[in-house]
């Protein structure tokens, strides 16, 4: 069989050499087409020596043979490993700046992409949309593996092992439907139900006034969009928001913390993931007046008595843990629960210490910790968060992610998808 092996500019490019070996030892004739960026990771000499064919990245070499037309027409199979986010985007949008992308446009046989990238890049709605588009056109886009990535981090995004890519490529060449475990039907959260609360609750004082907070709901909306793009069914519980709830989510509107609690307990039933990103008021007025509170003629100012609202995150965790005990269920049955903490720090303690304390009290599986202030986080388009998980080594550096709310959402959904596997 004539195979074109495209190599993208990722750290995993070296693994493509092992894949090339598997193909050649099985008797296939392989032409390697690296991208320019990939040559920073593995050089031309390796590909020419292992494949026995000259190697170039550009359409302007061997112009007399019109290389890309010949390669594309002659290939029985095109395999791209590692397929970077950039390459997937170019392939999905039909861009053709180099030999590999031109060959992909010319190819008439099966095409297999083996993606490799950081979890955030993989879970990003842009990448997920590109993957969905390529799959809808018949390309096989393998689900990446889960494990150690380029740096000290790990999660979904790892290049699948050369033997797995070899098997998927040969199956594609035989026109066999790829196993769902290899391609994933539609993203890392396909078949999962994710419940997300968003926005800020409002606690009425009287028919016209309320106690509220500065939450815009943007982070919750970004989480819902990312979860939808990753293939999940999303139940979205929206308190007051400055942005519309994402289309495609099943939305329940609420106003107060008590309404949010009821909606979340109902929505969490049978869910795989619960993300509490709403800013819930800790206190509410003990009694809301049925009529507008008036200025009094005797000059006395009103005193508002506050009472504590229920701790919804804690209640969700306790209910799940009770169900686990009652059913004798597996220790990781029931939803994975993600909490958010917005801390300012004060003279008594810093933001991280408050975050760790909150994780202990709540018992959730992941706590996303934000430093907040008047002009920090609320309503802003970008932010920085720390990820806290139970049992973390207190001496180890805390994983931190800075970026737009969509990027933070990708980081959270990526971690959730990795934990669910
Ligand atoms: C050390 C290093 C490792 C990288 N690894 C990846 C990767 O695994 N996946 C990815 O999508 N991009 C990765 N990148 C970024 C790509 O190299 C960059 O997006 C490039 O434009 C991709 O080019 P390509 O389209 O030729 O693959 C990495 C960059 C560096 C410097």
Collapse the DSSP code of 188 into the 3-class scheme (helix H, G, I; strand E, B; otherwise coil) and give the result. Answer: coil
Report which DSSP code applies to 142.
P
- Please provide the size of the chain in residues: 421
Is pTM beyond 0.85? Reply is no
CA dist 261 and 186 (Å) reads 31
Show the beta-strand stretches assigned E in 149-261.
Answer: 154-158, 193-198, 203-204, 210-211, 233-238, 250-253
Radius of gyration of the chain (CA): 26
Would 2-173 and 193-420 be classified into the same CATH topology? yes
Q: What are phi and psi of 371, to 5 degrees?
A: -90, 125
In the set 67, 130, 213, 309, the catalytic residue is: 213
Q: Are 94 and 88 in contact, with CB atoms under 8 Å apart?
A: no
* Residues 6 or more apart whose Cβ sits within 8 Å of residue 328: none
Domain range summary for the chain, segments of one domain joined by +: 2-173, 193-420
Return the CATH number of 193-420, one of 3.90.105.10, 3.30.300.30, 3.40.309.10, 3.40.50.10300.
Answer: 3.40.50.10300
Element holding 116 (H helix, E strand): none
Collapse the DSSP code of 62 into the 3-class scheme (helix H, G, I; strand E, B; otherwise coil) and give the result. Answer: coil
Task: State residue 178's pLDDT score.
Answer: 47
Q: Which CATH class is domain 2-173?
A: alpha beta
Residue nearest to atom 14 of ligand 1 (CA): 10
CA dist 371 and 368 (Å) reads 10
83 C-alpha to ligand 1 centroid (Å)? 9
Residue nearest to atom 21 of ligand 1 (CA): 86
Choose which residue among 12, 84, 113 to substitute to test ligand 1 binding: the one with the highest number of ligand atoms within 8 A of its C-beta: 84
12 C-alpha to ligand 1 centroid (Å)? 9
Sheet with 29-34: strands ordered across: 29-34, 2-7, 77-83, 111-115, 140-141
Collapse the DSSP code of 214 into the 3-class scheme (helix H, G, I; strand E, B; otherwise coil) and give the result. Answer: coil
Collapse the DSSP code of 342 into the 3-class scheme (helix H, G, I; strand E, B; otherwise coil) and give the result. Answer: strand
Q: Are 173 and 253 in contact, with CB atoms under 8 Å apart?
A: no
Tens digit of pLDDT at every position of the chain (421 positions): 999 999 999 999 999 999 999 999 888 999 999 999 999 999 999 999 999 999 999 999 988 888 888 899 899 999 999 999 999 999 999 999 999 999 999 998 999 999 999 999 998 989 999 998 998 888 989 888 876 777 777 678 899 888 888 878 887 887 654 444 444 444 678 889 999 999 999 999 999 999 999 899 999 999 998 888 778 899 999 999 999 998 889 999 999 999 999 999 999 999 999 999 999 999 999 999 999 998 888 889 989 999 999 999 999 999 999 988 887 767 778 899 999 998 876 776 788 899 999 999 999 999 999 877 655 555 566 778 899 999 988 888 888 887 778 778 878 888 888 788 6
84 C-alpha to ligand 1 centroid (Å)? 6
Tokens of 260: 């949010």
Residue 8 CA: nearest ligand 1 atom is 27
Q: Are 103 and 74 in contact, with CB atoms under 8 Å apart?
A: no
Tokens of 386: 């720390």
């Amino acid at each position: 069989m004539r195979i074109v092996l495209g190599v993208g500019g990722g750290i995993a490019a070296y693994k493509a050499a092992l894949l090339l070996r598997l193909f050649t030892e099985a008797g296939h004739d392989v032409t390697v087409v690296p991208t320019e960026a990939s040559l920073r990771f593995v050089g031309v000499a390796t590909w020419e020596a292992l494949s026995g064919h000259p190697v170039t990245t550009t359409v302007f070499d061997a112009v007399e043979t019109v290389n890309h037309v010949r390669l594309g027409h002659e290939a029985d199979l095109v395999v791209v490993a590692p397929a970077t986010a950039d390459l997937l985007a170019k392939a999905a949008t039909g861009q053709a700046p180099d030999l590999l992308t031109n060959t992909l446009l010319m190819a008439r046989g099966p095409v297999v992409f083996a993606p490799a990238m950081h979890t955030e890049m993989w879970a990003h709605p842009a990448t997920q949309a590109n993957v969905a588009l390529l799959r809808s056109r018949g390309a096989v886009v393998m689900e990446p593996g889960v494990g150690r990535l380029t740096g000290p981090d790990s999660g979904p995004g790892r290049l699948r092992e050369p033997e797995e890519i070899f098997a998927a490529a040969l199956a594609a060449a035989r026109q066999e439907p790829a196993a769902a475990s290899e391609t994933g039907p539609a993203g890392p959260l396909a078949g999962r139900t994710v419940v997300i609360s968003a926005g800020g609750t409002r606690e009425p004082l009287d028919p016209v006034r309320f106690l509220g907070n500065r939450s815009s709901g943007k982070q919750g909306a970004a989480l819902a969009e990312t979860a939808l793009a990753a293939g999940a069914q999303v139940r979205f519980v929206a308190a007051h928001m400055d942005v519309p709830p994402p289309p495609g989510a099943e939305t329940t509107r609420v106003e107060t913390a008590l309404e949010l609690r009821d909606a979340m307990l109902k929505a969490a039933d049978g869910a795989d993931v619960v993300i509490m990103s709403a800013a819930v008021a800790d206190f509410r007025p003990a009694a809301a007046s049925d009529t507008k509170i008036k200025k009094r003629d005797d000059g006395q100012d009103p005193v508002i008595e506050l009472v504590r609202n229920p701790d919804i995150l804690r209640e969700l965790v306790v209910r799940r843990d009770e169900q686990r005990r009652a059913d004798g269920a597996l220790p990781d049955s029931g939803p994975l629960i993600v909490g958010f903490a917005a801390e300012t720090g004060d003279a008594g303690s810093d933001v991280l210490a408050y975050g760790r304390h909150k994780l202990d009290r709540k018992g959730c599986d992941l706590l996303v910790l934000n430093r907040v202030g008047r002009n920090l986080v609320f309503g802003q388009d970008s932010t920085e968060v720390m990820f806290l998980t139970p049992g973390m080594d207190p001496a180890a550096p805390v994983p931190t992610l800075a970026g737009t709310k969509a990027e933070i959402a990708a980081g959270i959904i990526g971690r959730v998808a990795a934990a669910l596997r």
